[in-house]
Amino acid sequence: MLRNSFKCILFFIACSVSFVSNAQINGENYVYDHDTIIFSADSNIYQVENLGKNINSAHVESGPRISPDGNTLYFFRVNHPQNIAGTEDIWTSKFQEEDSAWTVATHVDEPLNCRGQNAVHWISKDGNTLLLHNRYYKNGTVGNGVSITYKEDGAWSFPERLKIKGYKNKEICSFYMTDDMDVLLMCIAQKDTKGLQDIYVSYKKGKSGKKWTKPQNLGETLNTEGTEATVWILSLIHISEPTRQEA
């Protein structure tokens, strides 16, 4: 059984490429002004700001992931002419300190993009490791799963599949890895899922990082009859060894 291993877990569905900043709008809590959305959370008012034409286009941009240093943004863009086979490809942008703006987004080269749905789930602290959507095949196609890639001499390695014992998924999924790369959180649909999808945890087996334990449902404290999606850890106390199930 899992105890209080996680101090705080944040989960929500990411639907647009935006940043959030504090704002005061004449004391009003809920204001909608064209494309600018103001909303209230814990008595604070926040403003969602469009990142502008360097990031957003006439195509769909979704799944934003920002590096821990705040300087690199990854997201996927749908049906853009530069995409491979015109599906969902990974794009990236760099933040420029001198003018406090993001560079024009560029299409990421192979092998990260291929024929299929491509997206970044997680970025390591040093920015040199990415967790990617799907399993990658040498013929340029993808299948169900999650893969990891490493930046070596300025280039990304071919994504390797994480072998998660008993992993199956019936819905859209998302993944998050802890900084020590020992714990994998995921939002997936399994036989014991309460709603459309739940939050699960898996632990690394051995030092290679290629094999992982069977996903454990985190239970009713976090999971509901609705949909839990896009999980991040805000603060991690520890994962106590005796509480792990190595099944």
Residue-wise pLDDT for 6-25, tens only, equals 444 444 443 334 444 444 44
The pLDDT value given to residue 223: 85
- pLDDT band at residue 148 under the 50/70/90 scheme: very high
Structure tokens at 48: 């969602």
| Alpha carbon distance 115, 40 (integer Å) | 41
Give CA–CA dist 67/105, Å, rounded: 15
Q: Average pLDDT of 103-119?
A: 95
Q: How far apart are CA 205 and CA 66, in angstroms?
A: 28
> Of 191, 205, 195, whose CA–CA distance to 227 is shortest?
195
Count Cβ atoms below 10 Å from residue 29 Cβ, excluding itself.
Answer: 12
Q: Number of C-alpha atoms within 13 angstroms, CB side, residue 86?
A: 2
The 10s digit of each residue's pLDDT in 181-195 is: 999 998 888 888 888
Confirm if 124 and 151 have CB atoms less than 8 A apart: no
**Contact call for residues 175 and 135 (beta carbons, < 8 A):** no
Give per-residue pLDDT as tens, 18-52. Answer: 444 444 444 444 333 344 444 455 555 556 778 88
